[in-house]
């Protein structure tokens, strides 16, 4: 489980013709100008890895770009905070990561709350996924192929290698542009356009010419990653074909993923040909993928009523044992439609078939909380945690049930357990501040608010909160010393920023 601990998850409007052209042009240029398409399928040798020993941009500079990008995403991009979805994504990356030729395996995973197909990889080992990717990837093999492709880009440091061909561009000056492109893609608003306008544009022609080799390299390495990790590499061309079908259906408004990851038939054919060279293996999807997919299908339903109708049609006359994911989706849709009693009934039937499945147990606790039965939900989660120590979704739900049951101090303890595992999930710090407030731990409230402000890039607010906490903490205690140390770090960061 060492690799699991190295992962950190931090889980449209219309526009004028000019803005739409501007956004699409720059999105195609750069989020993944890392990720543009090869001109044609060839058997040329893979490019050598460039710049890894210290070229124009260092790994430390990439990390700084990543921190800036993450701060902007936290402030502006809608994200999925669902612990069940985050836990699945983490488990997927955990399965792939040992097969990735990546020196630093500390990743930050970002879940964007959008029904569009999209994924991206940016400096600082950040991998982002739209919720919509689950909707369009019909199998776990297809979903895994996109993640493997993004990890391949990171492993080859394509961003750094691309900048080394653009020697007139200062690496940190690129952070604003990368941020703007990401925000334009994921928010579909003008938030990102201002960031792009304030930075130096790169040469479109040079960028695309250089990145074609990178995209081909990522396809090939991604196939190797999949095969080595026990996935079926044929999932990659299958996913590409799904994207091309969607592109044809949407006509002149292609999926966002294809504006930054353009596909050609030659690329699909090349990937299919390469995938067929791997041994044929029968790789079964895990049920968990389809449960999470159903959960998001309910989440993205046009209305709660439509979500219920969709899953009622899919489950009509079908025993639970034959289509558990669809029945689970119906339970989630019932919850979204404020019918928790029906959700509870369906979930108990699912648990009768698989008593230990964590996803069913956590969702049943959601249904019980919706019926104001916090004590029952709390008991259910305590029992589940006893069988699955340190499980993140169970611990997260326990924090909710304890708080709902009036046990704020216990809720605070579970949230601190999660924060030790995922210190960059800013929503946990907000919830901790709420729990500490209810537990009347004022020092803890200020401390949690300070950490939240740091993650949001608001160092002034963090400084104020830490001063408040330090004033209220007993001098000479470990808490006082810890606060003083953190205050000193923030003060130094503020002074550096003001220089």
Residue 351 sits in a domain of what CATH number?
A: 1.25.40.10
Task: Tell me if residue 43 is catalytic.
Answer: no
**Which residue would you say has higher pLDDT here, 337 or 262?**
337
248 within a domain of the structure (yes/no): yes
Residues 34 and 160 in one domain: yes
Catalytic residue, from 150, 217, 402, 468: name it. 150
8 Å CB contact between 10 and 430: no
Residue 34 has a pLDDT of 33
Q: How far apart are CA 226 and CA 76, in angstroms?
A: 33
**In the prediction, which pLDDT does 499 show?**
78
CA 74 to chain centre: 12
Q: What distance lies between CA 232 and its chain's CA centroid?
A: 23
| Residue where the block lists tokens 């989706």 | 329
pLDDT tens digits, 75-113 = 888 999 999 999 999 999 999 999 999 888 899 999 999
Separation CA 284–CA 88 (nearest Å):
16
What backbone phi and psi angles, to 5 degrees, belong to 304? Answer: -55, -35
Q: Is residue 84 part of a domain?
A: yes
> Is 150 known to be catalytic?
yes
Reported as a single tens digit per residue, the pLDDT across 167-210 is 545 555 565 656 665 665 555 544 444 444 444 444 433 443 33
The verdict on residue 120 lying in a domain is: yes
- Of 117-126, 177-186, 322-331, the least confident: 177-186
Residues 345 and 245 in one domain: no
E strand or H helix at 119: strand 119-122
Q: Say if CB 395 and CB 410 are below 8 A apart.
A: no
pLDDT at 388: 97
Mean pLDDT check: name the lowest of 42-56, 95-109, 165-179, 386-400. Answer: 42-56
Mean pLDDT across the stretch 145-160? Answer: 86
Q: Show which of 241, 275, 309 is a domain's final residue.
A: 275
Nearest CA among 66, 62, 80, 72 for reference residue 10: 80
* Average pLDDT for 2-9: 53
Q: What's residue 141's pLDDT?
A: 97
Which of 275, 307, 337 is where one domain is finished? Answer: 275
Q: Are residues 370 and 401 in the same domain?
A: yes
Q: Are residues 364 and 457 in the same domain?
A: yes
Q: Are both 237 and 108 inside the same structural domain?
A: yes
**Residues annotated in a binding site for Zn(2+):** 149, 153, 215
Does residue 281 lie within any of the structural domains? no
Instruction: Output DSSP code: residue 330.
Output: H
Domain count, the chain: 2
Asked, for residue 99, whether it belongs to a domain, the answer is yes
Read off the tokens for 450. 């300070």
Can you give the residue range of the structural domain that contains 314?
Answer: 287-498
**Residue 92 tokens, joined:** 């997927």
User: Is there a single domain that holds both residue 240 and residue 295?
Assistant: no
Decide if 280 is inside a domain.
no
Are both 236 and 299 inside the same structural domain? Answer: no
| Better-scored residue on pLDDT, 489 or 118 | 489
Among residues 211, 243, 275, which one ends one of the domains? 275
Q: Which among 136, 135, 130 has a CA at the least distance from the CA of 114?
A: 130
> Which residue would you say has higher pLDDT here, 21 or 157?
157
Q: What is the DSSP letter of 79?
A: B
CB 376 within 8 A of CB 344: no
Whether the Cβ atoms of residue 268 and residue 214 lie closer than 8 Å to each other:
no
Catalytic residue among 62, 87, 113, 219: 219
């Amino acid at each position: 489980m060492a690799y699991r601990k190295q992962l950190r998850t931090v889980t449209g409007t219309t526009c004028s013709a000019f803005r739409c052209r501007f956004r699409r042009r720059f999105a195609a240029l750069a989020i993944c100008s890392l990720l543009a398409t090869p001109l044609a399928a060839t058997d040329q040798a893979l490019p050598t890895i460039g710049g890894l020993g210290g070229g124009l941009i260092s790994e430390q500079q990439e990390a700084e770009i990543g921190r800036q990008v993450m701060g902007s995403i936290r402030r502006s991009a809608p994200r999925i905070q669902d612990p069940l979805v985050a836990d699945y994504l983490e488990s997927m990356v955990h399965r792939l990561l040992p097969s990735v030729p990546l020196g630093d395996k500390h990743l930050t995973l970002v879940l964007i709350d959008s029904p569009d197909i999209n994924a991206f990889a940016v400096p600082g080992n950040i991998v982002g996924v739209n919720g919509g990717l689950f909707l369009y990837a019909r199998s776990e093999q297809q979903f895994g192929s996109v993640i493997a492709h993004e990890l391949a880009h990171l492993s080859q440091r394509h961003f750094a290698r691309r900048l080394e061909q653009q020697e007139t561009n200062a690496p940190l000056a690129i952070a604003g542009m990368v941020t703007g492109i990401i925000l334009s893609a994921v928010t579909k608003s003008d938030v990102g356009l201002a960031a792009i306008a304030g930075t130096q544009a790169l040469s479109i022609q040079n960028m695309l010419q250089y990145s074609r080799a990178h995209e081909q390299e990522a396809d090939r390495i991604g196939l190797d990653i999949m095969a080595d990790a026990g996935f079926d590499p044929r999932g990659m061309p299958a996913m590409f074909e799904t994207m091309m079908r969607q592109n044809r259906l949407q006509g002149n408004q292609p999926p966002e993923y294809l504006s930054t990851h353009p596909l050609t038939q030659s690329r699909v054919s090349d990937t299919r040909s390469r995938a067929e060279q791997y041994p044929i293996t029968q790789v079964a999807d895990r049920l968990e993928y389809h449960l999470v997919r159903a959960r998001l299908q309910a989440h993205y339903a046009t209305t709660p009523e439509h979500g219920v109708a969709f899953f009622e049609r899919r489950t009509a006359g079908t025993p639970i044992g034959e289509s558990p994911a669809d029945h689970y989706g119906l339970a989630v849709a019932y919850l979204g439609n404020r019918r928790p009693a029906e959700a509870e009934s369906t979930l108990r039937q699912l648990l009768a078939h698989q008593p230990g499945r964590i996803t069913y147990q956590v969702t049943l606790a959601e249904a019980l909380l919706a019926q104001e039965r916090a004590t029952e939900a709390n008991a259910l989660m305590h029992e589940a945690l006893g069988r699955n120590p340190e499980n993140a979704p169970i611990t997260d739900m326990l924090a909710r049930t304890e708080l709902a049951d009036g046990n704020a101090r216990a809720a605070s303890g579970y949230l601190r357990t999660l924060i030790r595992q995922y210190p960059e999930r800013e929503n946990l710090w907000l919830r901790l501040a709420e729990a500490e407030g209810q537990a009347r731990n004022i020092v803890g409230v200020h401390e949690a608010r300070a950490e939240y402000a740091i993650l949001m890039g608001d160092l002034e607010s963090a400084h104020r909160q830490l001063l408040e906490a330090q004033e209220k903490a007993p001098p000479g205690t470990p808490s006082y010393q810890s606060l003083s140390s953190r205050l000193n770090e923030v003060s130094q960061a503020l002074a550096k920023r003001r220089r």
